[in-house]
Amino acid sequence: GENVEQHPSTLSVQEGDSAVIKCTYSDSASNYFPWYKQELGKRPQLIIDIRSNVGEKKDQRIAVTLNKTAKHFSLHITETQPEDSAVYFCCPNNAGNMLTFGGGTRLMVKP
Amino acid sequence: DGGITQSPKYLFRKEGQNVTLSCEQNLNHDAMYWYRQDPGQGLRLIYYSQIVNDFQKGDIAEGYSVSREKKESFPLTVTSAQKNPTAFYLCASSIAGTGDPQHFGDGTRLSIL
C-alpha cells in the first residue's frame, strides 16, 4: 500500500505564529490531496484540499502547497488561534483506489 | 439537513459476541467507508464500498464484515474473531470515490465488557 508520513507529529506554537505540517507520500499516481482537522473526540472535517493540476490553494488563514515531483504537500496556517488546536491528518488517494491517512500532527496553540 | 448518522454512540461487546454498527447517509453519495481509530493514532481503513452490493477490504478487514444493500446504508459488523475491538469507529462517505472529499459521521465508541 501507499506509504504516507506526516511531520512533525506534534507542533506547539504561540498564538499568532504560523504553523506548517508536511505530508509525504509514495504513489506517483495520487491526484487528490486533502487535509482534515479533528478536535478531541469529534469527527474529522475537511479544511482544505488540492488537486494535482494546481500547485497552491489558499482559503483565508489556511493554505496547501503541492510538490508532485518530490511527492509531498504541506498545510500552512497563519496567524494561529487557540481554536486551531487539534490533530491534523493528510490523506492522499492512490492508484489502487485506496486511502491511507497519515499518522496525524497534534497542533497546540498557546495563548 | 444532510449528513451521516452513526449509531449507537457508545457500544459494549461481550466475549464471543458479534455487534453491528449502523451508518446511514442522506447525501446521495455513492462511496462509503469504515475506519478504525485507536487512541492517539490515525485512521485505518477497514472496508469501503463504491456501489451498492460491492465492497472492498481495506488494510485491517480481518474480524470485520460489511454489507451494502442500499445506497444509504453501510453497516459494519465486528465479529468475535476481532480480538481487540476496543476503538473509535468512524463512517464516511464521498460523492464517487477516493478522489472526493469525505464527510464523516460522529463515530461509535466500542468497548469490551
Write out pLDDT tens, residues A9-59: 999 999 999 999 999 999 998 999 999 999 998 999 999 999 988 899 999
> For residue A1, what pLDDT is reported?
64
Confidence of residue B97 (pLDDT cuts 50, 70, 90): confident
> For residue A97, what pLDDT is reported?
66
Residue B86 reports pLDDT greater than 80: yes
> For residue A2, what pLDDT is reported?
77
Q: Which residues of A touch B33 (CB under 8 A)?
A: 99
Phi first, then psi: give them for residue A81, nearest 5 degrees: -125, 160
Q: What is the mean pLDDT of chain B?
A: 93
Q: How far is A61 from chain B (nearest CA, A)?
A: 20
Residue B42 reports pLDDT greater than 60: yes
**CB-neighbour burial class of residue A80 (10 A; exposed 0-12, middle 13-18, buried 19+):** buried
Q: Do B58 and A98 touch (CB under 8 A)?
A: yes
In A, minimum Cα distance to B57 occurs at A98
Q: Which residues of B touch A31 (CB under 8 A)?
A: 99
How many CB atoms lie under 10 A from the CB of residue B67? Answer: 15
Q: Which residues of B touch A94 (CB under 8 A)?
A: 98
Residue B55 reports pLDDT greater than 70: yes
Number of CB pairs, chain A paired with chain B, less than 8 A apart: 57
Query: No. of H helices and E strands in chain A?
Result: 0, 10
Q: Report which of A52, A28, A43 is spatially closest to residue A87, judged by C-alpha positions.
A: A43
Q: How far is A18 from chain B (nearest CA, A)?
A: 23
Query: Is B99's Cβ below 8 Å from some Cβ in A?
Result: yes
Residue scoring higher pLDDT (B14 or B35): B35
Interval A67-108: pLDDT, tens: 999 999 999 999 999 999 999 999 998 766 677 899 999 999
Confidence of residue B96 (pLDDT cuts 50, 70, 90): confident
Residue B61: strand, helix, or coil: coil
Phi-psi region of B57 (alpha: psi -120 to 50; beta: other; left: phi over 0): beta
Q: Quote the CA–CA distance of B86 and A60 in Å, as a whole number.
A: 39
Q: How far is A111 from chain B (nearest CA, A)?
A: 23
- Looking only at Cα atoms, what is the longest distance across chain B? 39
Q: Quote the CA–CA distance of A89 and B78 in Å, as a whole number.
A: 25
> For residue B1, what pLDDT is reported?
52
Q: Quote the CA–CA distance of B41 and B111 in Å, as a whole number.
A: 17
Residue B107 reports pLDDT greater than 60: yes
> For residue B15, what pLDDT is reported?
83
In B, minimum Cα distance to A34 occurs at B101
State the cell numbers at A7: 511531520
**pLDDT more than 70, % of chain B:** 98
